[in-house]
């Protein structure tokens, strides 16, 4: 950190750049957190964002075919009725450029950009216990301080580029889908290799195949996918949604996954073979993530899950003409939906094209990248472009790449050495006044993200409002409460089949050396919301929450800084 860089006053900040809150990230969560703290509580807030625009995950993930798997009318903010009435989505699932237009519209409509500093990556954040302040440093060496630090860094923003020997020697171009060039990539006439068949690879495959001379898909783990059935929204549908938004939002808040449909209460194993087939057929035709809600027991009973696996396998076999290719695509090694289930537009159909090859890199692993292409144990595949759709260091990655240090200089990286430990996914013991929006231990990625985000932001905002009203300055998760929560998160996950997917990023299993811990809270959004509300109603049970006015004697503190209840 260069010493000569002065602390820089910011919008709404005090003379020494003192802020009430610093928010890291200007995606869905950062924008709403800024809006809430500024407009509801009147705090001085600065958002620091590495990208040159708003959007977070969507700013970086602009690969071909990038589209949200939540339906558009549910993938939006609910906090402003004017906003939801004036905005119209065009397709059942919003494409990346449309999501970017939406988030820019939100940022402009609520005049948020004036408090966002773009092109500013946070490298370090240290909690100064004596001053009760977070001291934040950016890549450029700027320093800012604030009473509260709120991470809005997203769950899927730290790209996982596999450490394959020889990548530097590749004579062509290579890209990771999560760091896609702003100017796009022209595939015309190119031989393209795509590594990875998660949601991203499955979305990109048909689009790249249509543009490239040849596409080779390198598949390690065969993945399930259900047709998305995307298409334009009718005026009738749009009007109906707008007329019923109140009810739709109410339902979304009360469901397990934050969508506007519920998990069926039928059990696959209590249903006759004919009926079950008919229900799966109907779900397949309707398309989308809702397929996993066809039966209640799919995620808790292996035998029930097997019925979904067999149904999908048969569907893929109907679509894919070459039986050897169909075999590779359906050699599933985990129960359905125990990894994040993709939905697609003509993914399996793409393998019927003459210009597409599927390579099984489980059978013959990638050994190295050569100047010409990818070398597996069995063959070398000449390529002009390699696309890594290899996912993310999910959930903990975005937090740990910031050097976050709490009380006594303790590093978050060390505290989470054996896996993330939080209380409610909102706070970490030893890191006072740090809130982690959609942090590990919260429903986050198991929920439609805007719903999870709004619930966290509202809770954090209410908490800070409560602190102001009661002259409280510091909040920190108690160790025993966090301990119990971690245990609960594990117990709930262990009660599902989700812990059985050997390569799941929910478990951190996709990143070599990452501890195997099931990170999101699998108890469902509705239940989780109830728990969080209850904690707040009981005076923030499990948190130590205190005023510091009488203790304002520590070195580096000033009476003004620590005076009870005065955030501004
Ligand atoms: P995912 O779901 O983590 O998928 C990554 C894919 O890349 C997956 O098929 C991996 O195979 C594969 N992969 C990763 N590393 C390698 C190496 N070294 N060699 C071969 N194949 C590899 O990421 P996505 O971006 O598709 O989706 C992330 C989330 O974004 C998604 O779940 C939605 O929530 C939105 P593996 O399965 O590990 O064998």
**Ligand 1 in contact with 503 (CB < 6 A)?**
yes
Give me ligand 1 centre to Cα 200, in Å: 8
Return the bridge partners of 475, or none. 545
Of all protein residues, whose CA lies closest to atom 17 belonging to ligand 1?
A: 162
Interatomic CA distance for residues 188 and 38, integer angstroms: 47
Give me ligand 1 centre to Cα 259, in Å: 24
Give me ligand 1 centre to Cα 185, in Å: 21
Give me ligand 1 centre to Cα 329, in Å: 15
Tell me which residues of the chain have a pLDDT lower than 50: 1-12, 14-15, 551-568
Predicted pLDDT at 8: 36
**Ligand 1 in contact with 221 (CB < 6 A)?**
yes
Interatomic CA distance for residues 17 and 371, integer angstroms: 50
Predicted pLDDT at 530: 98
Of all protein residues, whose CA lies closest to atom 32 belonging to ligand 1?
A: 340
Predicted pLDDT at 557: 36
Interatomic CA distance for residues 13 and 21, integer angstroms: 10
The sign one gets for the Cα dihedral 297, 299, 301, 307 is positive
Cα distances (Å, whole numbers) of residue 477 to 113, 141, 432, 540: 32, 30, 8, 9
Predicted pLDDT at 17: 60
Cα distances (Å, whole numbers) of residue 429 to 41, 332, 406, 541, 542: 26, 40, 9, 14, 10
**Ligand 1 in contact with 510 (CB < 6 A)?**
yes
Of all protein residues, whose CA lies closest to atom 33 belonging to ligand 1?
A: 199
Of all protein residues, whose CA lies closest to atom 15 belonging to ligand 1?
A: 390
Give me ligand 1 centre to Cα 391, in Å: 4
Instruction: For ligand 1, pick from 510, 514, 516, 520 the residue to mutate: most ligand atoms within 8 Å of CB.
Output: 510
**Ligand 1 in contact with 156 (CB < 6 A)?**
yes
CB 332 within 8 A of CB 192: no
Residue in this structure with the two tokens 């954040």, named with its chain if needed: 125
Rg (CA), the chain: 24
Instruction: For ligand 1, pick from 193, 196, 369, 500 the residue to mutate: most ligand atoms within 8 Å of CB.
Output: 196
Q: What is the 3-state secondary structure (H, E, C) of 537-555?
A: HCCCCCEEEECCHHHCCCC
Of all protein residues, whose CA lies closest to atom 6 belonging to ligand 1?
A: 196
**Ligand 1 in contact with 389 (CB < 6 A)?**
yes
CB 175 within 8 A of CB 387: yes
**Ligand 1 in contact with 519 (CB < 6 A)?**
no
Encoded tokens for 16: 């020494």
Atom of ligand 1 nearest to the CA of 203: 26
Give me ligand 1 centre to Cα 389, in Å: 6
Give me ligand 1 centre to Cα 510, in Å: 7
Of all protein residues, whose CA lies closest to atom 12 belonging to ligand 1?
A: 196
């Amino acid at each position: 950190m260069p010493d000569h860089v002065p602390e820089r006053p910011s919008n709404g900040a005090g003379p020494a750049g003192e802020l009430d809150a610093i928010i890291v990230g200007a995606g869905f969560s950062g924008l709403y957190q800024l809006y809430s703290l500024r407009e509801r509580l009147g705090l001085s807030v600065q958002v620091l964002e590495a990208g040159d625009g708003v959007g977070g995950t969507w700013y970086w993930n602009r690969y071909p075919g990038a589209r949200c798997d939540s339906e558009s009318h549910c993938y939006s903010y609910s906090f402003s009725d004017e906003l939801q009435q004036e905005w119209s989505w065009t397709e059942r699932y919003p494409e990346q450029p449309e999501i970017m237009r939406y988030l820019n519209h939100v940022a402009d409509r609520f005049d948020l950009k004036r408090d966002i500093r773009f092109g500013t990556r946070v490298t370090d954040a240290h909690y100064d216990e004596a001053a009760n302040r977070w001291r934040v440093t950016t890549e450029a060496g700027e320093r800012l301080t604030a009473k509260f630090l709120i991470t809005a860094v997203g769950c899927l923003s730290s790209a996982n580029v596999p450490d394959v020997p020889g990548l530097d020697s590749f004579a062509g171009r290579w890209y990771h889908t999560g760091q896609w060039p702003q100017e796009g990539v022209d595939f015309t006439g190119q031989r393209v290799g795509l590594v990875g068949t998660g949601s991203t690879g499955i979305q990109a495959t048909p689009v790249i195949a249509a543009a490239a001379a040849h596409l080779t898909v390198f598949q390690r783990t065969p993945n399930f996918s259900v047709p998305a059935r995307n298409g334009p929204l009718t005026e009738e549908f749009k009007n109906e949604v707008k007329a019923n938004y109140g009810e739709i939002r109410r339902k979304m808040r009360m469901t397990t996954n934050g969508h506007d449909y519920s998990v069926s209460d039928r059990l696959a194993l209590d249903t006759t073979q004919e009926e079950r087939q008919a229900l799966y057929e109907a779900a397949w035709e309707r398309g989308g993530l809702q397929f996993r809600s066809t039966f209640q027991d799919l995620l808790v009973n292996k035998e029930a899950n097997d019925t979904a696996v067999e149904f999908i396998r048969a569907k893929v076999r109907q679509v894919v003409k070459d039986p050897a290719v169909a075999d590779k695509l359906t050699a599933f090694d985990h129960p359905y939906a125990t990894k994040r289930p993709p939905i697609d537009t003509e993914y399996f159909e793409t393998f019927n094209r003459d210009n597409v090859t599927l390579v099984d890199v489980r059978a013959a692993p990638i050994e190295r990248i050569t100047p010409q292409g990818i070398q597996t144990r069995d063959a070398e595949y000449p390529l002009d472009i390699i696309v890594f759709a290899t996912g993310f260091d999910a959930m903990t990655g975005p937090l740990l790449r910031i050097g976050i240090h709490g009380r006594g200089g303790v590093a978050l990286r060390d505290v989470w050495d054996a896996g993330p430990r939080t209380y409610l996914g909102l706070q970490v013991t030893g890191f006072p006044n740090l809130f982690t929006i959609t942090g590990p231990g919260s429903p986050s990625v198991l929920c439609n993200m805007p719903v999870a985000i709004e619930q966290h932001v509202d809770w954090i905002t209410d908490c800070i409002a409560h602190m102001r009203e009661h002259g409280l300055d510091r909040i920190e998760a108690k160790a025993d409460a966090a301990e119990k929560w971690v245990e609960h998160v594990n117990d709930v996950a262990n009660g599902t089949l989700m812990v059985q997917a050997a390569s799941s990023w929910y478990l951190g299993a996709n990143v070599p050396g990452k501890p195997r811990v099931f990170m999101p809270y699998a108890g469902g959004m509705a239940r989780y919301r109830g728990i969080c509300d209850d904690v707040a109603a009981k005076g923030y049970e499990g948190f130590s929450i205190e005023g510091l006015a009488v203790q304002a004697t520590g070195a580096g503190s000033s009476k003004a800084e620590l005076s009870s209840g005065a955030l501004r």
